[in-house]
Amino acid sequence: MVDEQGEAANRLAVACAHLDEIRRDLHQETGQAQALEQVLAAVREGVDLVGPLAALHAVLQAANGDPLGLDGYAGTAAGTRGLQPIGISDRPRESVYLCPAGQCARYWWPQTTASVPRCRISDADLRKERL
């Protein structure tokens, strides 16, 4: 079972990666976009994200009529596992890029022709970590 902080980090990574899509979906529903803005404000202020992310998840469930809510943007239901064991990757690399604030579980593997993405919330470069 994923703890609240781990779940929040995973959901923040999803929100970060799908920010434009979530914003677009919420703007179609009057008054619902505030839930996303509250998450972004919480990240910028460095406060606990569990509550704001839970609220965003609930709003997305209601707005989209989708029981997966925020987890649906990840393409997998929360709590399910992929086909690879944890710690094993089909992309062997010596480094990985992570959330610059260390608040979400977003990651990006280096690619030769692509520039390093920026955080969609703070606009800071993702931070490089060695594996």
Every domain of the chain and the residues it spans: 4-74
Q: How many CB atoms lie within 10 A of CB 91?
A: 8
Residue 12 has pLDDT above 60, yes or no: yes
- The overall average pLDDT reported for the chain is 79
Q: Given this model, what pLDDT does residue 29 score?
A: 59
Residue with tokens 């799908």: 18
Taking only Cα atoms into account, the Rg of the chain, rounded to an integer number of angstroms, comes to 15
pLDDT confidence band for 65 (50 / 70 / 90):
low
Residue 117 has pLDDT above 70, yes or no: yes
CB neighbour burial string for 32-55, b if at least 16 within 10 angstroms, e if fewer = bbebbebbbebbeeeeebeebbbe
pLDDT confidence band for 64 (50 / 70 / 90):
low
The DSSP-derived string for 1-40 is: ---HHHHHHHHHHHHHHTHHHHHHHHHTSTT-THHHHHHH
List the structure tokens of 63: 């707005």
Residue 92 has pLDDT above 60, yes or no: no
Q: Please indicate whether residue 56 or residue 78 has the higher confidence score (pLDDT).
A: 56
